[in-house]
Amino acid sequence: MRGGLPRKKTPVWKQVKLVKPGNIGAAGEVTGNAVFVIGSFVVVCLDLETGFELWRRPISDVPDHSIFCQRLWLFGTEVISLEAEGTTEIRNHGITATASRPLQIGTDIVVGHTRTGQIVAIDCETGTHRVAALGPKEYAMWFFLYRNSTLYAFCRDKIVRHYSWPGGALKDEWHLEVADPKRGGICSATWADDGDMLIFHNHNNSVVRLDPATREWRWERVVRAVLGETGARLVAREKRIAVAGQYLLTMLNADTGGILWEFDFYEYYQRTANNTSHPVFAGDYIYCTPGNHVVALEVATGKLAWESQKVTGDIMRQPIITEDRIIVVTLAGNVYCFQ
């Protein structure tokens, strides 16, 4: 929902056991009037208006991360060309082992090979790939950020910079001193509006704001996050930073690091909420998926503005948000659409 809130707490349509319950893949995608849902070794295409299944096809992975770029969809270790009519084509992209979280840069999808240190760029227009750079082999690449022709590869407690992208020349690397690889590491990072870098590390549950050019710290804030296996997630918009832990959503002031408000889903949902997923800003609200609910909180105050009815199965992935719909997939293999 880009502007207002859903009109009803009940879904306008749902698909029960659309995919195999249990290991649900990455968050899906909406393009045109088609909804693409990733399940366990399968991708399913639904009609956005009705939820009717248009087609499904097997894939060879259960990817934690995916990215959609000009009708090419990267699933972990393979690329598929997707069409709403059901035409698909699998393309090898040079990644034969676990891949990092992908990033789109222009018409390229950038993904890291976690074993060899290769950084592969896939051209979304042609489907071809190239080994664009070499990262550190001794550290597994987790994810990337990009700004001002510079690619940053995050490797647990290390940040590697590649200048003059897409040339990809290795310029330098540095350790984030607050991250102890034996006790934790960098879990999530994003950009502030002015180009500063925002980093969450789970060594002592801190959010750090720093200047990537000088490595100067602006501030550090310890948050009261209850963490899952992968730590907390950061999303930022304007002067707000949302930190989503396992039970708790914390909103920070981006300039000072001060805590604006907290929302404790663990207490509110009587200890049924076990995950806040990846929060999504939409208009004046931020959407989260604690346990088996979808909720909207006011960005300014943290007050609960809307909540869905209880759905079957926990929602473990980011909700898909369009102009007037919210779509979620649960661990029970069900898909729900709210409007």
Identity of the residue numbered 8: K
Q: Across residues 114-118, what is the average pLDDT?
A: 70
At 193-210, the pLDDT tens digits run 999 999 988 777 889 999
**Which has more confidence, 328 or 168?**
328
- When pLDDT is averaged across residues 260-288 and rounded to a whole number, the result is 79
pLDDT category of residue 122 using cuts at 50, 70 and 90: confident
Residue 220, class by beta-carbon neighbours within 10 Å (0-12 exposed, 13-18 middle, 19+ buried)?
middle
| The two structure tokens encoding residue 41 | 């070794």
Q: What share of the chain is helix, strand, coil (3-state, %, to 5)?
A: 0, 45, 55
pTM (predicted TM-score): 0.88
Tens-digit pLDDT profile for residues 55-82: 887 777 666 666 666 556 665 556 666 5
Per-residue pLDDT tens for 278-334?
A: 789 999 999 988 888 899 999 999 999 999 998 988 887 888 898 899 999 888 889
- Could you report the per-residue pLDDT of 1-12, keeping only the tens digit for each? 666 788 888 999
Choose the weakest-confidence range: 19-28, 78-87, 124-133: 78-87
> Which residues face 131 on adjacent strands?
120
Report the distance separating Cα 78 and Cα 67, nearest Å.
11
**Residue 156 and residue 302: Cα distance in Å, rounded?**
31
Per-residue pLDDT, 50: 95
Confidence band, pLDDT 50/70/90 cuts, at residue 179: low
DSSP letters along 90-144, please?
EE--S--S-B---EEETTEEEEEBTTT-EEEEEETTT--EEEEEE--TTS---EE
Kindly indicate the confidence band of residue 275, based on its pLDDT and cuts at 50, 70 and 90: low
What's the mean per-residue pLDDT of the chain? 79
Which tokens is 333 given? 């293999």
- The distance in angstroms from the start CA to the end CA of the chain is 8
How many beta carbons lie within 10 A of that of residue 128, not counting itself? 12
Highest mean pLDDT (candidates 1-10, 159-168, 172-181, 266-275): 1-10
* HSE toward the beta carbon, residue 14, CA cutoff 13 A: 18
- Quickly list H helices, the chain: 265-268
Which residue has better confidence, 160 or 238? 238
pLDDT at 229 (0 to 100):
44
Non-local CB neighbours of 59 within 8 Å, separated by 6+ positions = 38, 41, 42, 43, 75, 78, 80
Instruction: Establish how many alpha carbons lie within 13 A of residue 316's alpha carbon, considering only the half-sphere containing its beta carbon.
Output: 20
CA distances to 119, 218, 244 from 252, in Å = 33, 14, 11
Residues in contact with 106: Cβ distance below 8 Å, sequence separation at least 6, in sequence order: none
Residue 136 CA to residue 315 CA, distance in Å, equals 34
- Condensed to tens digits (0 to 9), the pLDDT of residues 214-260 reads 888 899 999 886 555 445 688 999 999 999 877 789 999 999 999 99
Cβ atoms within 10 Å, residue 8: 11
DSSP letter, residue 80 = E
pLDDT at 84 over 70: no
Burial of 87 (0-12, 13-18, 19+ CB in 10 A): exposed
Higher pLDDT, 166 or 185: 185
Contact yes or no for 279/244 (Cβ under 8 A): yes
Grade residue 163 by pLDDT with cuts at 50, 70 and 90.
low
Is the pLDDT score of 132 beyond 80?
A: no
